[in-house]
Every structure is written in C-alpha cells, then in structure tokens.
C-alpha cells in the first residue's frame, strides 16, 4: 500500500511518463548539438513532476495550454514523441508538417491547445475553452500551464480575474521555477504568487512541484472542484529547471545562479523522489525501474528513427498552409 490515494500501478505510470519526458529532452539536446535539429529548445528537465502530476488528474476532453517550455506538457497529455521529434527536425511527419518547431506543437484531438511562445498567452485561451464548457454544460476543465515570470503579464492577471468572476472551470498551474530567463523571482515579484491569486477570489494552493504524487493529489482536488461547478483555482508548483533557460544559453547558465544551487535542487530530482517512494513502499519489484527506463529509451530511439525517415518539405511548398482556407466557424465549404 502507498501512503497516498495513488495505487502502485499509477505511481509507476507517472514514473514512466516522467522518464519519457526526461529522455525526450536529453535526446533533443543531443540532436541539437548534432545538427539534426536546427533550432534551439527550452528544456523541461527538472520540472517533469508538474506536467505529469497535473495531467494524471485530467482526461482527453479536458484541455491544456502550454508555454515556450512545452514538450513535457504535450507528452504528459499523450502527445506522440515521433510527431514531436519530426516537428523539431523539420520533417513532414511533424505536428506542423515540420514548419512550426518546438513552440507551435498542438494536438487538438488530445485536448492539447498548444505550446506558445508568447509568455502568458495560454491563460486567456484556457478561459475561452472553459467558458465554452460552461455554456454547453459540459463537465470538462481547462488547465493553462505558465511560469512565475508570466505572473507579471497583464493578460494573465486579466485571466485570473475573468475566471474568478465567471466561476470558470479553470485550474491555473503556475510552474514557479524561481527564474524568468536570468531574473530571479525575488527581483521580479513581491509577496506570494498563491496569495496574489487568492486576492482575485480564486482558491489557491502551493505544492512541492518535485513530488509528482503530491502534485497529482492537489491537482485532483482542484480539478474535481472545477468539474463540480465550484469554480476556478490556482496551483503554485515549487520547482526548478536543471538546465539553462534554453539550449542557446547553456554557456552563460552560471552567470546568474550557482552550481551549488543547481546541485541542491538536483538532489530532489522528481524521478528520484518518485523512485524512492516506490522503493520505500514496495511499489515495484527489483529491476522494475531499470526495465521501465530501458523500455522508454527504446521507445524514444524508435520515435527518432521514424521521425528521421520522414522527408523535409520541399522548398517550393514554403508558402503552403500560411492561411486557413476555411474559417472553422463557417459551414463546410464556405471560405471568407
Ligand atoms: C509576451 C512575451 N514577453 C517576453 C518574452 C520573452 N521571454 C521568453 S521566456 C521568458 C521568461 C519566462 O519566464 P517564466 O514565465 O518564469 O517561464 P520559464 O522560462 O521559467 O519556464 C521571457 C521573458 C516572450 N516570449 N513573450
Ligand atoms: Mg520561471
């Protein structure tokens, strides 16, 4: 038995999802260095427990919006690693046919309303989706992920307000990794982020964002509440990115934070925290962790191989797909 509401199988499944994200990101960095991905990426390494803990509380009809650091959110909600690698590698099999890259990946069928390079911009999108759920009387929930830096974006504060006054089924998930690029939170925000959300009239909680089980339990409470019609809430997840802001800034990572600080947080690596919980509670048998890791590594290598087999779009199609031919609000066949 485990000490939480989660059974061992669910904990193992969350471990597997976190391992998948970790491996996806490690290989992404390697493919960038090898020139197979000709762009930079914002890696999510260290923050996996947030995406996985929250997404485990959601189903396909619930929607998420994401950020510039979006790979973890997309994979946690069921995104296809092959189509993600293909997108990063500029291949036709990619989510955006290889034309969008890391910050434009979306999968509407899975309720993934997309990564987003505009800081804070996912929050009003989530409020719009939530308004639709409410108008239709559907029991679904919208979850925008965003960082501590986004908490000073006007549009995010407007979203907190509109979600509060309309009692929208939104769970705002703030990934407080303590930095916005190189700016430490102490220089950018005063007071507590959760208290700021509470002042808008939202139910607000803070959770250890390195512990996937704790994130899952908090998210479940808030999602259930939203589903039941009890309105919007805010979950601040205390976390840390182990890597530089993005792969282009790796060389300057230690100019604004110390190696010792990174090391302290690495001791609470979310994969280790969950593995230790499974060890302590006899949640898995000897060798299970190594077996899951090997399975995930094979899945990722297979995804990379299949992505690499897909061709690059030809140059003479560069202007294709620039404009929508039909507006989704119009009946089929009507273009405006
Ligand atoms: C509207 C807008 N302003 C500024 C930027 C530049 N920018 C990209 S990431 C980032 C920092 C975001 O910090 P945070 O929200 O804490 O997310 P983190 O990178 O820590 O995950 C900024 C300012 C942007 N992309 N969009
Ligand atoms: Mg941040």
Query: Within a domain: residue 223?
Result: yes
230 CB-near residues (< 8 Å, 6+ apart): 167
Query: Ligand 1: does its nearest atom lie under 6 Å from the Cβ of 119?
Result: yes
Supply the DSSP string of 190-223, one letter for each residue: -S-HHHHHHHTT-EEEEEETT-HHHHHHHHHHHH
Tell me, what's the pLDDT at 331? 55
Query: Within a domain: residue 3?
Result: no
Question: What's the pLDDT band for 336 if we cut at 50, 70, 90?
Answer: very low
Tell me, what's the pLDDT at 320? 85
Query: Within a domain: residue 66?
Result: yes
Please check the confidence at residue 3 and state whether its pLDDT lies above 80. Answer: no
Instruction: Report pLDDT digits (tens) over 211-239.
Output: 999 999 999 999 999 999 999 999 999 99
- Give the Cα separation of 29 and 35 in Å (integer): 10
- Give the Cα separation of 4 and 85 in Å (integer): 35
Tell me, what's the pLDDT at 294? 98
CB 56 within 8 A of CB 12: no
Which of 149, 154, 237, 247 to mutate for ligand 1's pocket (most ligand atoms within 8 Å of CB)? 149
What are the residues whose beta carbon lies below 5 Å from ligand 2 (ion)? 147-149, 177, 180
Stretch 19-31: mean pLDDT, rounded?
98
Query: Within a domain: residue 285?
Result: yes
Percent with pLDDT over 90 in the chain:
91
Q: Which of 28-37, 85-94, 308-317, 318-327 has the lowest mean pLDDT?
A: 318-327
Query: Ligand 1: does its nearest atom lie under 6 Å from the Cβ of 248?
Result: no
Query: Within a domain: residue 323?
Result: no
DSSP annotation of 172: E
Supply the DSSP string of 292-309, one letter for each residue: HHHHHHHHHHHHHHHHHH
Stretch 16-32: mean pLDDT, rounded?
98
What is the overall mean pLDDT for the chain? 95
Instruction: Report pLDDT digits (tens) over 118-166.
Output: 999 999 999 999 999 999 999 999 999 999 999 999 999 999 999 999 9
Query: Within a domain: residue 63?
Result: yes
Taken in order 55, 162, 202, 147, the sign of the CA dihedral is: positive
CB 237 within 8 A of CB 57: no
Please check the confidence at residue 196 and state whether its pLDDT lies above 80. Answer: yes
Q: From the alpha carbon of 146, which atom of ligand 1 is closest?
A: 15
Helices and strands (H, E) in the chain, number of each type: 12, 7
The CATH number covering residue 263 comes to 3.40.50.970
CB 252 within 8 A of CB 188: no
Instruction: Report pLDDT digits (tens) over 163-185.
Output: 999 999 999 999 999 999 999 99
Domain interval for residue 158: 8-317
Looking at the structure of the chain, the number of domains it has is 1
Structure tokens that stand for 77 in this block: 């909600």
Bridge-based pairing state of the strands 179-180 and 183-184: antiparallel
Query: Within a domain: residue 329?
Result: no
Stretch 264-275: mean pLDDT, rounded?
98
Instruction: Tell which residue, 212, 215, 268, has the closest CA to residue 21.
Output: 212
Query: Within a domain: residue 30?
Result: yes
């Amino acid at each position: 038995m485990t000490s939480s509401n989660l059974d061992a199988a669910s904990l193992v499944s969350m471990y597997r999802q976190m391992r998948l994200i970790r491996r996806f990101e490690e290989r992404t960095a390697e493919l960038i260095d090898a020139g197979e991905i000709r762009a930079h990426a914002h890696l999510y390494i260290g923050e996996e427990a947030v995406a996985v803990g929250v997404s485990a509380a959601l189903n396909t009809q619930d929607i998420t919006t994401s950020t510039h650091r979006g790979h973890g959110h997309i994979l946690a909600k069921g995104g296809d690693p092959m189509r993600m690698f293909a997108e990063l590698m500029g291949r036709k099999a990619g989510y955006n046919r290889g034309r969008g890259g890391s910050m434009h990946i979306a999968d509407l069928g899975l309720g993934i309303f997309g990564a987003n390079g505009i800081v804070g911009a996912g929050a009003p999108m989530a409020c719009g989706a939530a308004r639709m759920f409410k108008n239709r009387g559907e029991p679904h929930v919208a979850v925008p992920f965003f960082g501590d830096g986004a908490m000073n974006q006007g549009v995010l504060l407007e979203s907190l307000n509109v979600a509060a006054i309309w009692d929208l089924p939104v769970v705002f998930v703030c990934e407080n990794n303590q930095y916005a690029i190189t700016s430490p939170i102490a220089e950018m925000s005063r007071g507590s982020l959760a208290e700021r959300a509470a002042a808008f009239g939202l139910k607000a909680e803070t959770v250890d964002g390195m512990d996937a089980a704790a994130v899952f339990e908090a998210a479940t409470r808030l999602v259930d509440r939203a589903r039941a019609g009890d309105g919007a809430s805010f979950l601040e997840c205390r976390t840390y990115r182990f890597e530089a802001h993005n792969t282009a800034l790796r060389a300057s990572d230690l100019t604004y934070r110390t190696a010792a600080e990174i090391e302290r947080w690495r001791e609470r690596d979310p994969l280790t925290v969950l593995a230790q919980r499974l060890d302590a509670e006899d949640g898995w048998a000897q060798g299970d962790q190594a077996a899951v890791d090997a399975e995930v590594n094979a899945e990722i290598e297979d995804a990379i191989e299949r992505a690499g087999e897909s061709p690059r779009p030809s140059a003479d199609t560069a202007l294709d797909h620039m404009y929508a031919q039909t507006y989704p609000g119009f009946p089929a066949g009507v273009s405006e």
